[in-house]
């Protein structure tokens, strides 16, 4: 039985590549469910996501009485992550479906990989580094969207979203082994 990976896309230009990340994860053996913030939908190609994963993009909480749409994931990837979403996660704010999924994953110690796409004008905000440190201490793995380096990410120069999209490798954000663990 494949393990479930939740792929969260936030409202930044790199969300245009979420279908590529999903397809790469499916190829590696994951069952992928894409959860997008409403503002991410400006970039997400829903049809390509559904073709890659077999599931529609989820943006809203389920309705009362509706069954859960997928079991708790064994991994979570946030690509791209915005300034807003990273700060919400660090503060424990679960005011949307995507934020709630992330807060629950962090509280449940489900491995989380975050690829922030935050511009150089927001990067020096006084709370930003503090929140990166909080999440790193909680076990979150950060990936730089420009280089694929694990650890401390860097700011994206404002106006260079197209370059980031063009050079981004979806394999960068997959879990370290790239594949789900096989349970006996």
Count of other CB atoms within 10 angstroms of residue 122:
16
At the topology level, CATH places domain 4-62+71-173 in Rossmann fold (3.40.50)
**Angstrom distance (rounded) from CA 14 to CA 24:** 15
57 and 46 Cβ atoms separated by less than 8 Å:
yes
Output the six-digit token pair for 95.
């005011």
DSSP per position, 71-109: PPPSEEEEEEE-HHHHHHHHHT---SHHHHHHHHHHHTT
pLDDT band at residue 178 using 50, 70 and 90 as cut-offs: low
**What is the pLDDT at residue 183?**
45
Would you list the domain boundaries of the chain? 4-62+71-173
Q: What is the mean pLDDT of the chain?
A: 93
Residue-level pLDDT at 181: 57
What are 142's strand-pairing partners? 114
Please give the model's pTM, rounded to 2 decimal places.
0.93
Question: Which tens digit of pLDDT belongs to each residue from 106-132?
Answer: 999 999 999 999 999 999 999 999 999
Give the residue ranges of DSSP H helices in the chain: 18-27, 46-53, 83-91, 97-107, 128-137, 161-167
């Amino acid at each position: 039985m494949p393990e479930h990976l939740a792929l969260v896309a936030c409202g930044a230009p790199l969300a245009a590549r979420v279908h590529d990340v999903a397809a790469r994860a499916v190829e590696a053996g994951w069952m992928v469910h894409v959860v997008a913030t409403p503002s991410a939908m400006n970039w997400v190609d829903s049809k390509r996501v559904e073709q890659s994963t077999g599931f529609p993009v989820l943006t809203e909480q389920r309705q009362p009485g509706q069954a859960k749409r997928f079991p708790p994931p064994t991994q979570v990837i946030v690509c791209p992550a915005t300034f807003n979403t990273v700060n919400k996660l660090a503060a424990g704010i679960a005011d949307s479906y995507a934020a709630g999924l992330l807060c629950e994953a962090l509280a449940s110690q489900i491995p989380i990989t975050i690829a922030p796409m935050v511009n150089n004008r927001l990067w020096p905000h006084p709370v930003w580094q503090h929140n990166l440190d909080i999440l790193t201490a909680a076990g979150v793995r950060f990936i730089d969207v420009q280089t694929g380096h694990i650890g401390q990410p860097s700011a994206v120069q404002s106006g260079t979203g197209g370059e980031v999209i063009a050079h981004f490798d979806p394999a960068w954000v997959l879990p370290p082994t790239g594949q789900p663990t096989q349970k006996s």
